[in-house]
Structures are given as structure tokens and as C-alpha cells.
Amino acid sequence: MSLKHLCAATVLLTLCTGCATGLNSQQKSELDHYEARGMAVEEKNPGLAAALGILPGGGSFYGREYGFGVVNLLLWPLSIVWDPVSGYDAAKSINYQATKAHISSLEEKELATLDEQLQTQQIDLTQYTLEKRKVDKKYGYN
């Protein structure tokens, strides 16, 4: 590998390492919270994503980062250094987003049911408030 190719690969490596930033500490903590409560959604397997990162562009393609997958494919085998991490981070990010959408949907359904019960006078305002607090506690992250 010539010095020119090495420099180009280094620049691309530097650019690609920031591509899949993963979750920030707040998001990681929130996902851990939902995983512990059995409420997390796993759309992508982070371990599989990391393992596929050993293949040319595999981690990026699996993590839906198709442009970076092509770059990693072209830079293989050098991309083995960062693509497993990038794939893992992308899978965790996908799972976080899927979990947030799932939790939001469940919460909205329960709140809509409560609103309907209040409107049809199946429950009074006190019961509504107590039940709403339960729903907030159930789905909220504190």
C-alpha cells in the first residue's frame, strides 16, 4: 500500500468513525431501563451487527448505513477496525428508536382509553388522575 493510499484510508477512517455515534449516556440509560423492565424492542441484534462488521461492509449494511457500507466494502480489510463497532452502535440506535416508538404507542393507547372512560363517565376525575399517574409511571423514564 502506497503512502498516498494509506493517507486516504486514514482520512476515510477518521471520517467514518464518527458515522455511527451510538447512543449518548442518557439514551443508553433509558434503553437499559426499558430492557430491565422487559419493554425494549430488539429490531437488530447488536452482537450480530458487530460480527457482520468483520465482513466487507456487513456491519454498516446491517445497521442500515448503506453509504458507509459501500465505503467500508471498498476499504475492506481495513474497515474491520471500525465496522464492527459501527454496526453494534447502529443496531443499538435502531433498537432505541424502535423502543421509544413502541413505548409511546402503548402509552398513547392507555391514555386514550382513560380519556374515553372519563368522557363516558365510567370513571370520575379523581380516578382518572390516579390512573394517569400510574400510566406516567409505567412508561416514563425517571
Task: Note the pTM of the prediction, 2 decimals.
Answer: 0.78
Q: How many angstroms separate the CA atoms of 47 and 141, rounded?
A: 26
Rg (alpha carbons) of the chain, rounded to whole number: 22
- DSSP code, position 43: S
What are φ and ψ of residue 79, in 5° steps?
A: -65, -10
Give domain limits for the chain. 3-139
Phi-psi region of 20 (alpha: psi -120 to 50; beta: other; left: phi over 0): beta
- pLDDT (tens place) for every residue of the chain, 142 residues total: 665 665 455 555 545 444 556 899 999 999 999 999 999 999 999 999 999 999 998 999 999 999 988 998 899 888 888 999 999 999 999 999 999 999 999 999 999 999 999 999 999 999 999 999 999 999 887 6
